[in-house]
Structure 1
Amino acid sequence: MEEELWFTLFTLAKMGAQSKTLDISSTKLGKKMNISQQTASRRLQQLEEKGWLVRKITRKGQLVRLTDQGMNMLLEIYLWLQTIFDKKPPILIIEGELFSGMREGGYYISVNGYNRQFKEKLGFDPYPGTLNLRLKSYSDLQTKKLLLNYPGILIDAFENKGRTFGQVKCFKTRINDKVDGAVLLIQRTHYGEDVLEVISPLYLREKLKLKDGEKIRLKIFLSHVEEKGS
């Protein structure tokens, strides 16, 4: 189902709905995609419900335009394709300033639903705590926004004792070119958009002799496997 909606979104973008309001009927869209008018109408409704487009019904049809959320979905597909066709796995570099957080990371990492998935999907048992980095520069903040649209390693949401724990997207990373770990993009977090949280099988502050205020460099691998010797 999701793939069908993505392709419908792509078709509308090719017709110009990414940059202007498009006047289109479900009959015309159906012919364009070789599907029935009813199916085209249903998909437009579903795209609107997801917030991927806005539409206004008119006497002749409807006016539609892709939202920022819809464009982000197309960007995510583009980035998936990029990771498939690039000969060399793409890498992002981010620098942040180390600071002491709310000390909740150890608890969440130790929760069985998260810990088990970290071991299975990241290949290591994380130290019970996160390294918290505050992004200072405009470039690093924009890089994080780009990172949000890349497909990562998904840690699924789950329930435990009546409490819901949200989804986490991870990327393997190398900290200061010395220690391997993972960047966490947490669905539910108390931190703002200028913060990245990092985990590792090691106690990073001790291993790398780190103190608050120091600059930390992350080499983030956008494929699921880090490139050896990078």
Structure 2
Amino acid sequence: MLQLLSKGARHNFIEVTTSDLGKDIARSQQAASKHLLDLETSGYIERARRGQKFAVRITDKGYSEIQSLFASLKSAIESAPAVIDFEGSVVSGMGEGAYYMSLEGYKKQFREKLGYEPYPGTLNIRLTDQLFMNARRELGSHPSIFVDGFGDGTRTYGWVKCYRATINGTVDNAAVLVLERTHYDDSMLEVIAPMSIKDAAGIKNGDRVKVQVHIQMP
């Protein structure tokens, strides 16, 4: 019905062939013909013969069904969970976190946008489950607290996307970072906080931790 609607079949009878419709919905001509027959039987469309061809119009019942589907999809999208869960093991980093956290170009923006100056260094969490790695790969597509990149006259530093996070249900003012430039792949979460997360959460390298990332709605 969506294909028919896009072709103008809401208020007018439009000519359509089952072969063309089959191509549009990636089905065979026979499957498209059956779809049209099922829609007509259900009262969602009307068909009228025009010579050797058929013309199709979406009925009020059919349009109401499309509106209902649209409303359901819109509701599902808007009520999607605002939290993404991760789990992994604490590992040692490359030591870059402390350096970058010390740069005034970042610190100033963290103070303004996160409300605190991060503890020097990042907590590095290795994700081992493919499900979590897939979620990490998609994380950067969600709305974020955006920290702009900058230059110091010698080199440039990339942007940072920040996502507020909770560690083990206790440290609730952390932030997971998605960096424009990083040596890590999607199996690593880099986390900052205003204090040492290891000390605050009582964790050490090798410990399993749970991270809840809070997604901002657009």
Classify the TM-score, shorter chain.
0.5 to 0.7
The answer to whether residue 194 in structure 2 is matched with residue 201 in structure 1 is: yes
Supply the RMSD in Å over aligned alpha carbons. Answer: 2.5
Distance 2:95 2:154 in 1: 23
- Give the Cα–Cα distance (whole angstroms) in 2 for the partners of residues 185 and 216 of structure 1: 19
Counterpart residue number, 1:156: 148
Structure-to-structure mapping, 1:115-154, within 5 angstroms: 115-154=107-146
**Secondary structure of the equivalent of 1:93?**
strand
TM-score (normalised: structure 1) = 0.58
Amino acid at match of 1:94: F
Contact 1:89 1:223 in 2 (8 A): no
Aligned to 1:92: 84
Aligned pair partner of 1:112 in 101, 104, 112 = 104
1:103 CA drift (Å) = 1.1
How many residues matched?
146
Matches of residues 1-230 of structure 1 in structure 2 within 5 Å? 85-86=78-79, 90-179=82-171, 180-223=173-216
Q: Deviations over 1:157-200 (max 9, x none)?
A: 11013210001111000111101210000111111221110000
SS of residue matched to 2:101: helix
Give me the whole-angstrom Cα distance separating, in 1, the residues matched to 2:82 and 2:95. Answer: 32
SS of 2:204's equivalent in the other structure is coil
The answer to whether the 8 A contact 2:90-2:206 is kept is yes
TM-score by length of 2: 0.62
Q: Secondary structure at the match of 1:171?
A: strand
Q: Which runs of 5+ in 2 are unaligned?
A: 1-5, 8-23, 25-73
Read off the aligned partner of 1:206 and give its amino acid letter.
Answer: D
Which residue of structure 1 lines up, in the alignment, with residue 37 of structure 2? none
Which secondary structure does the structure 2 equivalent of 1:102 belong to? coil
> 2:148 touches 2:160 (CA, 8 Å); kept in 1?
yes
State the one-letter code of the partner of 2:199. Answer: E
- Counterparts of 2:135 and 2:106, CA distance in 1: 26
1:106–1:128 Cα contact (<8 Å) kept: yes
